[in-house]
Structure formats: C-alpha cells, structure tokens
C-alpha cells in the first residue's frame, strides 16, 4: 500500500481508496504508524490495489494507446526531425 504525496495520484478516487496521501512532514509522521499497525487496513488496501492494477494498469491495457502514439511519431517523422534540427541550430556553440 503506497504512502505518497498527491502530486501524481491524488486526483483519482480509486487511488485515494488504495493509498494514503501525505503532503507535509506532519502528515507523513501521523500516517505511517497507523499504516504499520492496522493489519486489516493494509490487507484491504492491498486487495484494492491488486484489483486496480489487474483491471486498469496492465501493459496489455495500454497497447492500443502506445501503438497509436508510436505510429503518430512515425507519421510525423520529417516534421519532428526538422524541429529537432532547428533546436540544435539554435543552441549556443559548446566550448571545449
């Protein structure tokens, strides 16, 4: 069960059910002992986390999206390469 800040995962309700969020040193200090001592809470959150990963975060769930991303890169290759070259040309020369 994660104990983390809410910077990345704090927006989704499912993440709040799985993890415990702490954004200050005081919140971390208050959260950690309870998590270590409450076996029922640990097991409940663990089960929720495993179920969440099984149904929403497996690599197989992302294949279509990743394929589309890479195909878009490939179809825009010439434009992206021209942009890369422009960025390189705009950089100041390096000194040895």
In a domain, 95, yes or no: no
Domain assignment present for residue 20? The answer is yes
> How many other C-beta atoms can be found within 10 angstroms of the C-beta atom of residue 38?
12
- Asked if residue 96 belongs to a domain, the reply is no
Note down pLDDT in tens along the chain; length 96 residues: 578 888 877 788 888 889 888 989 999 999 889 888 889 988 999 999 999 999 988 888 889 999 999 999 999 999 999 999 999 999 988 777
Alpha-carbon torsion 82, 84, 87, 93, what sign? negative
DSSP letter, residue 12: -
Is there a domain that residue 33 lies in?
A: yes
Total structural domains in the chain? 1
pTM (2 d.p.): 0.59
Which domain range does residue 10 map to?
Answer: 3-90
> 80 pairs with which residues across the strands?
none
């Amino acid at each position: 069960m994660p104990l983390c800040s809410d910077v990345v995962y704090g927006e989704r309700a499912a993440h709040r059910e799985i993890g415990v969020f702490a954004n200050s040193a005081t919140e971390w200090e208050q959260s950690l002992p309870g998590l270590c001592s409450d076996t029922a809470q640990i097991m409940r959150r663990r089960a929720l986390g495993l179920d969440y990963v099984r149904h929403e975060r497996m690599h197989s769930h992302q294949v279509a999206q990743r394929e589309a991303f890479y195909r878009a890169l490939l179809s825009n290759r010439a434009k992206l390469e021209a942009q890369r070259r422009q960025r390189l040309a705009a950089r100041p020369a390096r000194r040895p």
